[in-house]
Amino acid sequence: MGVGGCLVVPWRCLVVLCLRLLFLVPAGVPVRSGDATFPKAMDNVTVRQGESATLRCSVDNRVTRVAWLNRSSILYAGNDKWCLDPRVVLMSNTKTEYSIQIRDVDVYDEGPYTCSVQTDNHPKTSRVHLIVQVSPKIVEISSDISINEGGNISLTCIATGRPDPTITWRHISPKAVGFVSEDEYLEITGITREQSGEYECSASNDVAAPVVRRVKVTVNYPPYISDAKSTGVPVGQKGILQCEASAVPAAEFQWYKDDKRLVEGQKGVKVESKAFFSRLTFFNVSEQDYGNYTCVASNKLGNTNVSIILYEISEPTSSTLFQGPGAVHDGNNGTSRRAGCIGLLPLLLLHLLLKF
């Protein structure tokens, strides 16, 4: 296709027929093309889709008649417009230049355009090729996907553009380095949890800024308890046991003491569970609260558990208070007591002297 709405004739006969009709060339007179002594049309013209393309043909005082043609269409002959397409307009018809402009260029306008002139009773032609570039556009991309760890996935990203765009895939992750694929298709076998996240498809061809789309890949895996520590608390104080677990989907938590499940609402105990941790709070620890507790984390792919001990420790003694803030209770209480007594001796001696 070419510029629409024009007088159409078969391509092989186009130039000769047009020149004979337009310039009244007698039969038997050859139509010349590419005469080195005559200025040619401009070099190939490259424009982006939606822009305007100006086609120029240099002429001189030997030229008596001029015309622009496109494939099998006559666009302009002199000042007369033969094409009904409103996007095609005459820009210049002077003694030195004959030019037209095609506005809002589209891909179907791409192709050869011919400048035909009549000089000294000899028709001559010169051709220019219009190249239309198109910004990249992603026309098809995979939907977000959820896969169990160890499975295989295939992501697709299809893009159009002129010239053909280059497709690249990149894993959007702090640990990812560079591109993971330079192809329309991204294959991952034996996927791991570290490979979850967003994958970005980029299409570029230097015509415009690259276009990007993202696909979210969710990797499911069973719970893994990452942190759980036993805790020592004095009788009558507040105590907390905490269990942290990583899992997709997020784990559900349960707490047990011996074989008895602890639930929210029990007297003196609060069970608080979030996406990645669960906390067991004792507001006033009693002797009966000490012992072994089990944290169970589970999701649809499996479960795991860990034992945590709530054990008794002694209240801080008066001697440890003299150690000041930040004292470390490491069990060396005898040394602490001696240090405290030595500190009291000067006060006792002063008291005895004043008394007598």
pLDDT of residue 345: 45
Query: What is the residue type of 89?
Result: V
pLDDT in tens, 74-113: 999 999 999 999 999 999 999 999 999 999 999 999 999 9
β-bridge partners, 241:
280
Residue-averaged pLDDT of the chain: 81
Residue 259 has pLDDT above 90, yes or no: no
The residue among 332 and 22 whose pLDDT is bigger is 22
Q: Is 317 in a helix, a strand, or coil?
A: coil
Of the pLDDT bands very low, low, confident and very high (cuts 50, 70, 90), residue 120 is confident
pLDDT of residue 72: 75
Provide the whole-model pTM: 0.70
The residue among 135 and 343 whose pLDDT is bigger is 135
Query: What is the residue type of 126?
Result: S
Residue corresponding to tokens 């069990």: 331
Beta-carbon contacts of 214 under 8 Å, excluding residues fewer than 6 positions away, are 172, 198, 199, 200, 201
pLDDT in tens, 197-224: 999 999 999 999 999 999 999 999 999 9
pLDDT of residue 2: 61
The residue among 356 and 336 whose pLDDT is bigger is 356
Burial of 127 (0-12, 13-18, 19+ CB in 10 A): middle
pLDDT of residue 168: 95
Of the pLDDT bands very low, low, confident and very high (cuts 50, 70, 90), residue 40 is low
pLDDT of residue 264: 77
Q: Count, in order, helices (H) and strands (E) of the chain.
A: 3, 25
Of the pLDDT bands very low, low, confident and very high (cuts 50, 70, 90), residue 30 is very low
Residue 34 has pLDDT above 70, yes or no: no
Distance CA 134, CA 50 (A): 9
CB count within 10 Å of CB 134 equals 20
Distance CA 290, CA 231 (A): 10
Closest alpha carbon to 97 in 173, 40, 163: 40
